[in-house]
Amino acid sequence: MVYYKSDELMIRNMEEEDGPVFVEEFTAQGWHPDPAVYQRRLEDQAEGKCIALTAVCQGHPAGSVYVYLTAKEGPFKGKGWPIIVDFNVLKKFQRKGIGSKLMDSAEQIAGQYADTVCLGVGLCREYGSAQRMYVKRGYIPDGTGVWYQDKQCVQYVTTCTVDDDLVLYLSKKLPGKDDEK
């Protein structure tokens, strides 16, 4: 399915061929992607657990994001809210509006299932651009503080590593159908 299309950019459902491209491109950026993650996301999409999106810029996969229909971890577990997971845009495609269009599509999809969407964002500097973008888009911290490996950190008690598993959870109220008029 295509969620957005212009002359330069298309946001569509992820396809099996996208995974190897992302693995190669992220490896070239110095990241350590796990090819199995892309296969798992496609399986989750086939099972109706998530919508896996790929941004294609001038025919080349440029970014991806996953909208899980209900949060299974963190402070939003059990609330029935969709959660946006693993938002990424390849470095060579950043600062072109691709991330904004991916998030627009993800939020539009989430809005079909609930009036609120949530996400977790990493706390190290590598996530700085994403942190700023989420705040600008209206996401606010949920108030439960920092989480590490799906456990809430306790002041003066929890010891953790600053890695991809150290996150702050945010949520955003989505416009309702009455708000669109």
Q: What is the pLDDT of residues 136-157, one digit of tens each?
A: 999 999 999 999 999 999 999 9
- Which residues is 67 bridged to in the sheet? 51, 84
Confidence at residue 175, expressed as pLDDT on a 0 to 100 scale: 86
The pTM for the full model equals 0.92
Joined tokens for residue 97: 């509006």
Confidence at residue 10, expressed as pLDDT on a 0 to 100 scale: 98
Q: What pLDDT, in 10s, does the model give residues 43-73?
A: 999 999 999 999 999 999 999 999 999 999 8
pLDDT grade for 181, boundaries at 50, 70 and 90: very low
Q: What does the pLDDT average to over 125-132?
A: 92
DSSP letters spanning 72-127: -SGGGTTS---EEEEEEE-GGGTTSSHHHHHHHHHHHHHTTT-SEEEEEEE-SGGG
Confidence at residue 136, expressed as pLDDT on a 0 to 100 scale: 96
Residue 178 has pLDDT above 60, yes or no: no
**What percent of the chain stands above pLDDT 70?**
97
What is the chain's Cα-based Rg? 16
Residue 173 has pLDDT above 70, yes or no: yes
Closest to 106 measured CA to CA, from 121, 120, 87, 89: 87
For the chain, list the domains and their CATH numbers: 2-174 (3.40.630.30)
The four Cα atoms 119, 107, 87, 138 give a dihedral, to 10 degrees, of: -60
Confidence at residue 179, expressed as pLDDT on a 0 to 100 scale: 54
Residue 86 has pLDDT above 90, yes or no: yes
**HSE, side-chain direction, 13 A CA sphere, residue 168:** 16
